Each structure stands twice: as C-alpha cells, then as structure tokens.
Chains A and B, each alone.
Chain A
Amino acid sequence: MKDKTFISILAIIMVIGIGVTAGLMIHGYNLWKEISIVEMIANWG
C-alpha cells in the first residue's frame, strides 16, 4: 500500500472514530441531563 493511501485510510478511520466517539458522548450527556439518580441506579446492576 502506498504511503499516501495508508495515510488517507488512517485519516478516514480517525475522522469516523472521533465522530462516533463525540456523538456517543453528546448523546450520553443529553440523556444524563434528563435522567433521575433513581433510574440511573436501577440501570446500574
């Protein structure tokens, strides 16, 4: 694999990975704002 191709593939994976991670964290934060401490403990087996 050419270096340029390798870097491009890596960059795409990084962008997707960071995007998914950031999306998960934003989604989790929005859920966290809405949930009660009681329900959080119920989920936490």
Chain B
Amino acid sequence: MDKKKLAKQLGVIVLVIALFAGLDTGIYQLFIKRVISHHSPGMQKMSVEVGNYVPFTGSENVFSAEGVSKLEGDIPVIDGAAALLPVYAGFVESIYPESSVIYNGEDYDAASAMHYTNTRGAYKDIVDGNADIIICAQPSDEQLAYAAEKGVELELVPIGSDAFVFIVNDSNPVDNITLDQIRGIYSGEITNWKELGGKNIQIAAMRRNKNSGSQTALEKIMGDIPIKPDYTTLFGSPIGFSFRYYVTGMLGEGGVKILTINGIAPTPETIADGSYPVAGNIYAVYRKGETNENVYKAIEFMKSPEGQKIVEQSGYIPLS
C-alpha cells in the first residue's frame, strides 16, 4: 500500500517537473530564442544607437558637409525618425552651431536644438510646437488627424527616398511576392506559405506599433483593407517589413532575405526610377506659415547638393 502511494507521489512530482520543463522549453523555443540580439559591430553601425550619431563628436557614422554657412539666430529644433537619425545628425553637424546641440550621454537635453523622439514622438512634437523641423516618412492618418484637431497644417518637403521592404528568414524558399499577396497575408486571407509556392507552414505576419513609420507604410499599401490582429505570430514562418536601410545592415550577417515585389528588387536604381513599387519619400516636415527663416534655410540646405550628398552617404537615395 505504502509503495503504491509512494509511486503515485513520485509520479505527481515527476509530472509537475515535466510540465514546468515543457512550459519553459516552449517559452524559450517560441519566444526567447527569437529575441536574443546577435548584433555584431557591423550591424550596430547600421542600426540606430543614439550615442553613435551625436553630431560634433567626431563620429564616423555622421557625414557632414565642410565649409557650409552655419545658421545664426533662432535655431530651429530638429527631430525625426529612428531610421533617419544618421541623416539629420549629418544636417545638424553641417549647419547648426555646435553650442546648440546638448547631449547628456544618454539623450538630448530639452534645451538642445536636436532631439530624438522617433516618428511617433516627432509628429506629436511638430504639431505641439516642441520641434520646428522633423525628418520622417509620411505621416499616418491618425497623425494627420491630430494635426487637424490642433489646427496645424504640415508641409512635407521630399529630401530623398528609400524602399519599403518585406523580409523573410533566409531559409524560406519564397523569393518574390506581389502587392496583392501582401494584402492577402496582412488581411488574413493568405495564411500558409504553400499558397505562395513555399513550404506547407503557417505564415506569421509580423507588424509594428501603430503610428511607427513602417506600420504607416503598411497601412498605405493595405488601403481600406483591415489588418488582421497578430495573435498567431508565435507560430509558423515569419514575414515582416522595414525600410531598406535598416535591413541592408543585416544582410551581411545572414538570417534575413529581402523579397522582390512583382519581380523587382529594391536597388538604388529601381527606387530612383520608381520601378520598385513601394518606394517612399523621406520628408522634411514643418508647420505651414512658419516664420523662422532658419527653417527654410535648413530645408534648402537639405535639398542642396551638399545636403543630398549627406542623404546618400547615410545610406538613402538622394533626390533625382
């Protein structure tokens, strides 16, 4: 009798241990393994670490123009998207007085003429008057509605372009996708890679936060088609999206592959000539009716040959 009881008790103990072991293995395999950073120094150079792009620190990641007139007087506060930090750090180093940039080692000081709050923060700041120029991709409908609600009209001046790209793990045999297939995936109509000529495995359609630059770009592609919630993205083989500059940093590391869209790869040539179907402009954004003439001088510089050289050196496509 005691032996039977002991066997039952040991069985329960073993079962509980096995349940926890299974649960923790599942958490590791499905979640933690996928979010461990393998950033190499090469990738770090391409990805945006704020401290690597501080103007006037001699950073090799910031490209600036020599011998250009500096702005004087009322220096406009500049802000922008994470992916575009290299670009506007170069503009600032070229035409802003060094004393106007205050970086405390972790972030920009509130009194600094350069800020870094990312796309969502930058669009809010330009509307609220906390920034005078922001460097971003196009605004979302929500960001435009916020501006309208506050009675602010935004002027968007193109200063370059980049491609919006869709990426998969490089073990995925699918190389090409069409815009209709992208809409099918993100609306939930296409759920398995075999429908695109790939393996019989579920599609994990990853997305980003609302009002981020790349999520807004996806919403523009989707038009009126609702994007399905991503409850299932822990399973299957993923597809995601980003801007070309972000992804090219990873290509040397392996692990990801940029899909061609309608058979066209996002190269500087196909982006510049418009044949790549989802290229998008980079904008300098300011408030309509702005009275600070330095805002206009700064934007003129961005469009000038010197400014465009910074756009190109920073990894983006200059105005043609």
Contacts and interface: CB of A to CB of B under 8 A. Distances in A.
Contacts of A32: 31, 35
A42 B9 contact: no
Interface in A1-45: 1, 6, 9-10, 13-14, 16-17, 20-21, 24-25, 27-28, 31-32, 34-45
B150 interface: no
B225 interface: no
B119 to A, nearest CB: 14
Contact of A44 (B24, B47, B169): B169
A37 B199 CA distance: 22
Contacts of B296: none
B13 A43 contact: no
Contacts of B27: 21, 24-25, 28
A42 B24 contact: no
Interface stretch (B106-114, B180-188, B249-257, B274-282): B249-257
A36 B246 contact: yes
Interface residues of B, number: 47
B36 A43 contact: yes
A45 B214 CA distance: 23
A36 B37 CA distance: 9
B102 interface: no
Contact of B34 (A16, A17, A43): A43
Nearest to A17: B20
B39 interface: yes
Nearest to B254: A42
A43 B33 contact: yes
A30 B276 CA distance: 36
Interface stretch (B63-71, B189-197, B233-241): B233-241
Contacts of A41: 167-169, 206, 238-240, 255-256
Nearest to B253: A42
Given A13-B20, A17-B20, 13 more contacts: A24-B32, A25-B27, A28-B31, A37-B208, A37-B214, A38-B167, A39-B39, A40-B35, A41-B255, A42-B170, A43-B33, A43-B34, A45-B255
9 contacts: A1-B5, A17-B16, A17-B20, A21-B20, A31-B36, A37-B206, A38-B246, A41-B255, A42-B250
Interface of A: 1, 6, 9-10, 13-14, 16-17, 20-21, 24-25, 27-28, 31-32, 34-45
Interface of B: 5-6, 9, 12-13, 16-17, 19-20, 23-24, 27-28, 31-39, 43, 47, 167-171, 204, 206, 208, 214, 237-242, 246-247, 249-250, 253-256
